[in-house]
Structure 1
Amino acid sequence: MADFLWYPLQDLPFIFLVLIIAFTVHEFAHAFSAYKFGDRTAYDAGRVTLNPRVHLDVLGTILLLVVGFGWAKPVPVNRGRFKYPRLMGIVVSAVGPLSNLLIAILGILAVYIVNQTGYIDSASHGVQQAIGHFSYYLIFLNLLLFLFNLIPIPPLDGYRIIQDLVPLKVRLKMDQHVQWGMIIFLLIVFIPALRQHTLDPLFAYRYDIFIYFARKFELIFNAVNWGKLWVDF
């Protein structure tokens, strides 16, 4: 493992692929929903696409690998073009994190199917490791993005949702202090002492998050050894 990386060096190919999927689908969900609600801003900027090149931010991706935090290019949205700006604004903000939750759920379902077919038992150790590592990061990182983006601190989606929920007077006051919120957010991310009591616990409970969602699926699909693919973690 390279000491300067947040994740194991040998897992970088899986993480890159997962980040491409997660960031692309997240930003596409914002852009597509805004376009469907009548705002062409993202559409005219070429963001209503699943082409990763228009969504990925080089610095944001590098920082995610180095410090465990990163971002994609934000989608431009003009809420004034919506028929119902507040309601549709909430939906447009929420569909990004929800798209990551959907990917994680589909990942859990895929693990169930792979286990049920028995393919993983007959595959070579290398194939088992590859499938296990990819599914691990696909589910974990998308669940993390889902939870992380709902934190009500700018510039995260959770903050935009709160903005559209509160009365107009409160929103105007929030807008006056948005720059301080972004500074606090960056301090939390990059100062170890602050991060230790905020973001790090979220990373520490990654396997507990796995188990929670896996058990919910067990109620539907019957008991299955969800940990079979993740024995190395």
Structure 2
Amino acid sequence: MDGFFRFSLEELPFIIISLVVAFTVHEWAHAYTAYKCGDNTAKNQGRLTFNPAAHIDPLGALLILIVGFGWARPVPVDRRNFKRPHLYSILVSAAGPLSNLLIALFTYVLLFVFDATSLIPLSGKGAEFVSSLLGTMLQLNIVLFLFNLLPFPPLDGYRILEDLAPDRIRTKMMRYESYGAILFLVIVLTPLDQYVIYPIFDMGVPFVINTLYKIISPLFM
């Protein structure tokens, strides 16, 4: 860490660019899926856009740079507008993490193109910058994909689990949701994250990268 920030000053440009792209696409995916499923709430509030200003929460973004944990502006969704509330809510919740996985896939393809061909005519510092940016974007989007699937409120994984549960259990989950959110904050903001969150990343990130490699590498052989 350099001074005030969690990341080094050399890493900051790559982290900031990657976060802006990842958060913007993630929240747009929620908004677009909700719109296609029949809910115009996000669209009417100007969230169906790739403009980062509509999705980035300044405090949430700053906290990521300082403590490594933060958030974007949640997309408003009114499930009463869905003809099939449970199914469409699951699709909306899953759209965000899946968008990060797709960014990771696309980024990995670009890394293969960059390393295996001369389609990107860069050398020296330019090549180093592109390689570092793509590597950071790959890693960060995989982390966001896994992180948002954790079954803690208010993450997307919890919303999916909630909509998969029978109505009787879902009602109880909603009743105790605030306690779950507090527990989640305690985990991620204390040393407990070393025993709960980091082991998931330590196993999950290499697994996803290896899976993407198996999908992409045959295309360049």
TM-score class normalised by the smaller sequence: over 0.9
The SS at the match of 2:10 is helix
Task: Tell which deviates more after alignment, 80-89 or 198-207.
Answer: 198-207
Q: Deviations over 1:140-187 (max 9, x none)?
A: 110111010000100000010011101000000000100011001110
CA contact (8 A) 1:140 1:206 kept: no
Which AA in structure 2 matches 1:80? Answer: R
Alpha-carbon spacing, 1:210–1:40, altered in 2? closer, same or farther (3 Å): closer
Aligned structure 1 segments of 4 or more residues deviating by more than 4 angstroms: 202-207
Q: Report the number of matched residues.
A: 221
Deviation, 1:209, is 4.5
- Report the Cα distance in structure 2 between the residues aligned to 1:206 and 1:134, rounded to whole angstroms: 21
Query: Displacement, 1:202?
Result: 4.2
Per-residue deviation at 1:220?
A: 2.4
Is contact 1:42-1:48 (8 Å) kept?
yes
Q: CA deviation at 1:32?
A: 0.9
Q: Deviations over 1:55-106 (max 9, x none)?
A: 0001111111112111100001011110111111100000000000000000
The equivalent of 2:179 in structure 1 is: 180
Quickly say closer, same or farther: Cα 1:211–1:40, change in 2 above 3 A. closer
Q: CA deviation at 1:196?
A: 1.1
Alignment partners' CA distance in 2, 1:21 and 1:209? 23
Tell me whether 6-15 or 212-221 shows the greater mean CA deviation: 212-221
- After superposition, the Cα gap between the structure-2 partners of 1:68 and 1:113, relative to the gap in structure 1 and judged at 3 Å, is same
Instruction: Give the aligned residue type for 1:99.
Output: S
CA–CA distance in 2 between the matches of 1:171 and 1:210? 30
Paired position in structure 2 for 1:230: none
TM-aligned CA deviation for residue 134 of structure 1: 0.2
CA distance in 2, matches of 1:190, 1:51: 30
Instruction: Tell me, in whole angstroms, the C-alpha distance in 1 between the residues paired with 2:205 and 2:174.
Output: 37
Structure 1 residue aligned with 2:165: 166
Name the residue aligned to 1:195: 193
Q: Which runs of 5+ in 2 are unaligned?
A: none
Measure how far apart 1:4 and its partner are. 3.8
Return the alpha-carbon distance in structure 2 between the equivalents of residues 218 and 125 of structure 1. 26
User: Letter of the aligned partner of 1:83 in structure 2?
Assistant: K
- 2:14 is aligned to 14
Does residue 1:31 correspond to 2:38, yes or no?
no
> Hey, what's the Cα distance between the residues in 2 that align with 1:167 and 1:195?
30
In structure 2, how many angstroms separate the alpha carbons of the residues matched to 1:89 and 1:166?
A: 12
- 8 Å CA contact 1:97, 1:149 repeated in 2: yes
Do the aligned residues in 2 keep the contact of 1:30 with 1:93 (CA within 8 Å)? yes
> Which 10-residue stretch deviates more, 201-210 or 27-36?
201-210
The AA in structure 1 aligned to 2:14 is: F
Q: Secondary structure at the match of 2:11?
A: helix
State the TM-score, normalized to the length of structure 1: 0.88
Question: How far apart, in 2, do the equivalents of 1:214 and 1:30 lie?
Answer: 23
Indicate if the aligned counterparts of 1:140 and 1:210 stay in contact, CA closer than 8 A.
Answer: no
Q: Which residue of 2 aligns with 1:155?
A: 154
Q: Evaluate the alpha carbon distance shift between residue 159 and residue 206 of structure 1 in structure 2; reply closer, same or farther with a 3 A threshold.
A: closer
Contact 1:90 1:160 in 2 (8 A): yes
1:152 maps to amino acid: P
Q: Which residue of 2 aligns with 1:67?
A: 67
TM-score when scaled to structure 2?
A: 0.93
**Superposition map of 1:115-134 within 5 A:** 115-118=115-118, 123-134=122-133
- What is the SS of the residue equivalent to 1:198? helix
CA contact (8 A) 2:146 2:204 kept: no
One-letter amino acid matched to 1:198 = V
